[in-house]
Amino acid sequence: MGDRRPAERFAATLLRAVLVLTLGLAVANFGFTTVGVDGTSMTPTLQHGDRAWVPRFETWLVRLGWRSWTPGDVVYFRAPGAAPRTWIDRLTGGPFLIKRVVATAGQMVELRRGRLWVDGVAVDEPYLAGGPTAVPSLAPTVVPRGHLFVLGDNRAPLASRDSRAFGPVPLDHVAGRASWVVWPPWRRGADDGPSWNLHRL
């Protein structure tokens, strides 16, 4: 009989690889993952190149009806009408955008000379750099059932592609909520000195 040890070693290695891959997929889908930020539509909250921590279990709690996304949450989602551009997009359901929830189902959202109003009340948005930006106004829009209205924190003209462009986002397009910026741990500030970058969203 031939030596079966190489075959046994190969089978054991393959089994370990499958177990590691399965565990990794389980953690990424039911535990936590991170998402990268591409672009400046969420400055100053998120900078290009940041990575944000996403507790994926929250998404399942929302789908089960035990939790809901609320105004102020920073979520990543598949934009309505966006078609996959790469094989990675096809595998993950992307491409994805990351924006801030400003209104939920049944609420009326509008922009008056750059100022956000929800249900007729002006919203304080301390996360905007320098306060509201002069952008075209948005007529009062009621968010339909099962949708969210999202905006980028960078409200400069043409700085963010968000619900002003593609409308409210269906809940089933939302893949998760970014809760912490975890990378890079620090950034060089205006005075060329490093500043701590880890922060809660």
pLDDT in tens, 42-93: 988 999 999 999 988 888 888 888 989 999 999 999 888 766 556 555 555 5
Q: Which helix (H) or strand (E) holds 15?
A: helix 5-30
Q: Are 75 and 99 in contact (CB under 8 A)?
A: yes
Dist CA 64 CA 52 (whole Å): 24
pLDDT digits (tens, 9 = 90+) for 91-142: 555 578 999 999 999 999 999 888 899 999 999 998 887 655 666 678 999 9
CATH code of the domain made up of 32-200? 2.10.109.10
**pTM of the complete model:** 0.80
CB 186 within 8 A of CB 197: yes
**Per-domain residue ranges of the chain:** 1-30, 32-200
What are 159-196's pLDDT values in tens digits?
889 999 999 999 999 999 999 898 888 877 656 667 77
